Structure 1
Amino acid sequence: MKLKALLASGTIALACLAAPASHAAGTLTVALHQDPGNWDPVATFLVSWGAVGSQIFDGLIMRTPDMKLVPGLATKWEFLDKNTKIRFTLRQGVKFHDGEPFDADAVKFTFDRLLGDEGKKGPQQSNYTSIDKVVVVNPTTVDFIMKSPDPVLLTKLAGYGAMIVPPKYVKEKGSEYFGAHPVGTGPFKFVEYKPKISLALEKNAAYWGGSPKVDNLTYRFIAEPATQAAELQAGRVDVANQIPLAMVDTIKKDPKLAVVSMDGPVALALRYNTKRGIMQNRDVRKALTLAVDRDAIIKSVLLGQAKPIASFQGTLSFGNDPALKPLPFNPKEAMALLKKAGVKPGTQIQLDFRGPDSNFREVAQAVAGYLQAVGITVTLKPYETNVLLNDIIPNGKTGEMWQNQWGGWTFDYDNTAYAMYYTKQRWNPFDDDAKLNALLHQQRNTWDQAARKDTLQEIARYVADQSLEMPLYSLNTVYGINKRAKDLALPADGRFRFVDARVD
């Protein structure tokens, strides 16, 4: 069956957002597909937060674009007492943007808050529950006392929930105010936030890592990839983090613009609601996966800017098993399994997806076409992204299938698998599997990386055997850029850090 025959025809309206025709040479403007809605490090899990967070905040450890862990607010660390204690020596002379000094008390406050009642309100706490407590040794030294081994801890300390926050400011202003007026130690300082429109930052000339080379950094929240591309072409943004793949060649031909594409951590799958209707049957779930030609989707819809996957992770992920192959496209076997399961032709199911994502909309249309060919009628239901992620999925309100997209920012399958498959986690509203829970605990309870890798690969095989999801592909990270922007150090994981960036 030809893929193009499966895709619904239509056009994308380019609704250009109001913005100045040009901007000052000292300002770098970045388009993001999503406003995370809260700049508090404990309140978010979104890649779009990460694209901003490392400008405002620092962690004890930082990760470079080439994936190396380097000193951040900690200048060194060492494991003590048979790996049950990790001692961090802190950088001296650092101040938060409001003038408050950074010290051991700030580190302790940050993690007490993350692991306490405030952290419970957000999605980050579960990443750090291996930490029992943080003990202040002296103003420049802290010890992390561990409840259990955490082989991914150092990587996690380089991002998201572990960003260090100012105790006095948070206590005086409160978490709600802090979430809309963030203060950190990072290279850029908060200026103004207009929800769903923009975020303005200015350089922190006193930054401990050296003053940024641009004076101002502006983020514009533009949900539609086509609109991001239009704004890039008009010269109103310098970096676009999502552009329609069909426009890649057009942008490349513009002498003022360029496209950067690289292997990325973002994986996509269609998760199955195993508590609803025909999806309770494992053979049905397997049949639907067999019915979809994912290689053709990658070639024709994504124009080769993705790679097929057999589990919910890309090739760069620790725990990826190259021996585990995706189920082949086999509609004949799919129809046989559906018939055996008693599924009648014309059976209807619902597929929920992020409405503003025009690239995935075409993927969803293709999937619906393939499933129609084996007798399953699919209703596509788009949601505003924050509604899908903050209400529909975590509260178990999905249809039979939903778009599951994960940034995989640790490049470690642990971070993905635990969040997706462990009982009662935010992204697992339906399944309660004792074997999966035990395997997930097992790989988290050792510092032995070889043993972890074996267990993570076993988890991937088990998830595939149970057909808990339809693995689709891992996306290349694709940026559209204006060539006037230099030294951007564009990262595979979308977590920008523009300290050395400059604009002509």
Structure 2
Amino acid sequence: MRRTCLALLLAAVVSAPSLAQTLTMGAGAPSTSLDPHFFNAAPNGSVASHLFSRLVERDSRVRPQPGLAESWRAVSDTVWEFKLRPGVKWHDGRDFTAEDVVFTFERAPNVPNSPGGFGGFLRQVARVEVVDPLTLRIHTRAPHPLLPVDLSYIFIISRHAGEGATTEDYNAGRAAIGTGPYRLRAHMPGERVEFERNDAYWGPREPWARATWRVIANDTARTAALLAGDVDLIDQVPSSDIERLRREGRVSLHQIQGLRMIYLQADFSRDGNLPGVTDTAGQPIATNPFRDVRVRRALSIAINRQALTDRVMEGTAAPSGQWLPPGVYSYNPAVAVPAFDAERARRLLAEAGFPQGFRLTLTSPNDRYPNDARTAQAVAQMWTRIGIRTEVQSLPWSAFSARAARQEFGMRLAGWGSSTGEASYAAINIMGTYNREQRRGASNQGRYSNPQFDALVDRATTIIDDAARERVLHEVVKMGMDDLAVIPLFHLINTWATRRGLTYEARMDESTRAMAAREAP
């Protein structure tokens, strides 16, 4: 029935362009806040990129580009000088200055109730020196060659609008005053964000007078909205629709190898009695089984990753045994995709003291990543076959993210895009020991901790020479995967679909933004 409906919609799709100078985007996952420092999640960043700018921007292949900073240079091993762009105005007409950057750096790591913040990007910043209104010198605690890359993730906010403002003030629009290419028109949380062009924008003029970022979490509904002409483009194109859409001349597909790893992470935050984990009789387990690496290895090799990418993802993902895809700086070719071996998995469980296995609830979002809940169901079936009787709990992203941040799940499926294009980003943020003061582990919701791993990451990120740093990052990847800090499943191939006559610059960081869409020449 679904295929029939899709065929009818394909036959009915119209080629007439949307209303002049308007663009409507259909997004598969909601942004949880307009506060650009509340949650380091891709949908939040997509929305924020319309309203706010960064010192350093990123192109579609995540390469650093000048933003609010026109240029930067290393003055010494621990001092970077940034020259700010003159003449930049906030949406309310006031001047952008170095003081706004200072205020941003003070606020970004310290947003209350953040489920995963931005402190990891500023962990090496010791102090910020204002030389003049358009010159900054950033002093780091140690040599930090990745500082410009890190700063490409920090949206700059105004001191005058942000001082004393809460996350709710941003959500209500009172503090959502940026320097970005669009101004805020309206915000309906969980449903849509409406923008209007900022004609005083410091960058190239946008062709869209108005743009709407509309949440359509249901896969079928998202495709149908594009085919019916209700939206101009969609992200997270359902894998089951891709081949049919590819053959449809009135719809265009835009793809790129993504940086997002879909992975599993256990809870390491307590000794035992984990939520959703019991023995075979349904009684709590006094010790935490996931703290035994043999259990983690059993879970990993019980997963047939090729089957996941072929049958669940339908060719829109590639199996992975580490957190970067091949071809990316610091990908370690010596770390292979774990071979599927159910028999060895059973032996490892027996060695770890679980010859009969145990019971487990695997929690997954159901509206955040392509086929997220379906992937969890497939993994649950594979684990059940080795004696770990697994049930799946799937939740909307807004509920999942808040509960995961409170360590309410014994095992969860999640995603992480290493959009810095190198290994330290994930190593610091999702595998680094959680420590607010050190600004480490901001998104380490399983609370994995390995001091030797942290020390090796710290060593790698102070090495100035790119080749030497990559060699140490290879060691970081091997150590993290030998210990299975997380269990990688696959990397996504990012796909957008647009109506005929519209182009979209596919992005490795999977950001969905009006600035990447243009009418075809």
CA apart distance, 1:116: 5.7
Q: Which residue matches 1:3?
A: none
Q: Find the aligned partners of 1:499 and 1:319 in 2 and give their Cα distance.
A: 30
1:260 partner amino acid = H
Distance 1:199 1:273, change over 3 A: same
1:222 partner amino acid = I
2:53 partner amino acid = D
CA apart distance, 1:294: 0.6
Check if 1:30 corresponds to 2:42: no
Check whether the contact 2:431–2:485 (CA below 8 A) recurs between aligned residues.
no
Distance 1:437 1:226, change over 3 A: same
Which of 56, 62, 65 aligns to 2:60? It is 65
Check if 1:485 corresponds to 2:480: no
Check if 1:42 corresponds to 2:19: no
Instruction: Provide TM-score, normalisation by structure 1.
Output: 0.89
Stretch of structure 1 that moved more, 241-250 or 339-348? 339-348
Check whether the contact 2:78–2:144 (CA below 8 A) recurs between aligned residues.
no
Which of 166, 170, 186 aligns to 1:192? It is 186
Q: Find the aligned partners of 2:23 and 2:113 in 1 and give their Cα distance.
A: 33
Check whether the contact 1:28–1:503 (CA below 8 A) recurs between aligned residues.
no
1:164 partner amino acid = I
Q: Find the aligned partners of 1:474 and 1:325 in 2 and give their Cα distance.
A: 14
1:105-124 equivalences under 5 Å are: 105-114=99-108, 123-124=117-118
CA apart distance, 1:233: 1.6
* 3-state SS in 2 of match to 1:243: coil
CA apart distance, 1:497: 4.8
Check whether the contact 1:65–1:492 (CA below 8 A) recurs between aligned residues.
yes
1:409 partner amino acid = S
Check whether the contact 2:74–2:80 (CA below 8 A) recurs between aligned residues.
yes
Check if 1:417 corresponds to 2:453: no
Check if 1:202 corresponds to 2:196: yes
CA apart distance, 1:149: 2.5
Check whether the contact 1:33–1:221 (CA below 8 A) recurs between aligned residues.
yes
CA apart distance, 1:115: 5.1
Stretch of structure 1 that moved more, 425-434 or 63-72? 425-434
Distance 1:180 1:133, change over 3 A: farther
Check whether the contact 1:34–1:221 (CA below 8 A) recurs between aligned residues.
yes
CA apart distance, 1:489: 2.1
CA apart distance, 1:350: 1.4
1:81-120 equivalences under 5 Å are: 82-114=76-108
Which of 321, 325, 336 aligns to 2:336? It is 325
Stretch of structure 1 that moved more, 189-198 or 122-131? 122-131
Which of 151, 155, 162 aligns to 1:170? It is 162
1:95-494 equivalences under 5 Å are: 95-114=89-108, 123-159=117-153, 162-171=154-163, 175-181=167-173, 182-274=176-268, 275=271, 276=274, 277-345=288-356, 347-357=358-368, 359-391=371-403, 393-399=404-410, 401-424=411-434, 425=441, 426-486=443-503, 488-494=504-510
Please list every run of 5 or more consecutive structure 2 residues that lacks an aligned counterpart in the other structure. 10-15, 275-287, 435-440
Check whether the contact 1:55–1:496 (CA below 8 A) recurs between aligned residues.
no
Distance 1:430 1:130, change over 3 A: closer
Distance 1:119 1:369, change over 3 A: closer
1:416 partner amino acid = A
1:129 partner amino acid = R
* 3-state SS in 2 of match to 1:246: helix
Check whether the contact 1:198–1:220 (CA below 8 A) recurs between aligned residues.
yes
Distance 1:105 1:301, change over 3 A: same
Check whether the contact 2:61–2:509 (CA below 8 A) recurs between aligned residues.
no
Identical aligned pairs, as a percentage? 26
Check whether the contact 1:200–1:217 (CA below 8 A) recurs between aligned residues.
yes
2:133 partner amino acid = P
CA apart distance, 1:120: 8.1
Q: Find the aligned partners of 1:117 and 1:290 in 2 and give their Cα distance.
A: 39
Check whether the contact 2:258–2:508 (CA below 8 A) recurs between aligned residues.
yes
Check whether the contact 1:214–1:503 (CA below 8 A) recurs between aligned residues.
no
1:49 partner amino acid = N
Instruction: Provide TM-score, normalisation by structure 2.
Output: 0.86
* 3-state SS in 1 of match to 2:470: helix
CA apart distance, 1:313: 2.4
* 3-state SS in 1 of match to 2:489: strand
Q: How many residues align?
A: 484
Check whether the contact 1:31–1:240 (CA below 8 A) recurs between aligned residues.
yes
Please list every run of 5 or more consecutive structure 1 residues that lacks an aligned counterpart in the other structure. 1-9
Cα deviation 1:98-141 (Å, max 9, x = unaligned): 10111222222222333567798961123202112222111221
Stretch of structure 1 that moved more, 419-428 or 242-251? 419-428
* 3-state SS in 2 of match to 1:421: coil
RMSD, aligned α-carbons: 2.7
1:468 partner amino acid = A
Check if 1:74 corresponds to 2:74: no
Distance 1:122 1:359, change over 3 A: closer
1:297 partner amino acid = L
Return structure 1 stretches of 4+ with deviation > 4 angstroms: 115-122, 172-175, 274-277
Q: Find the aligned partners of 1:121 and 1:334 in 2 and give their Cα distance.
A: 33
Check whether the contact 1:59–1:158 (CA below 8 A) recurs between aligned residues.
yes
Cα deviation 1:229-250 (Å, max 9, x = unaligned): 1211211111211122011122
1:476 partner amino acid = I
Q: Find the aligned partners of 2:426 and 2:165 in 1 and give their Cα distance.
A: 34
Q: Find the aligned partners of 2:482 and 2:115 in 1 and give their Cα distance.
A: 34
Check whether the contact 2:419–2:508 (CA below 8 A) recurs between aligned residues.
no
Check whether the contact 2:39–2:115 (CA below 8 A) recurs between aligned residues.
no
Cα deviation 1:284-339 (Å, max 9, x = unaligned): 22122112211121112211111121112222543210121122111222222223
Distance 1:189 1:316, change over 3 A: farther
Q: Find the aligned partners of 2:429 and 2:101 in 1 and give their Cα distance.
A: 25
* 3-state SS in 1 of match to 2:108: helix
* 3-state SS in 2 of match to 1:191: strand
2:382 partner amino acid = Y
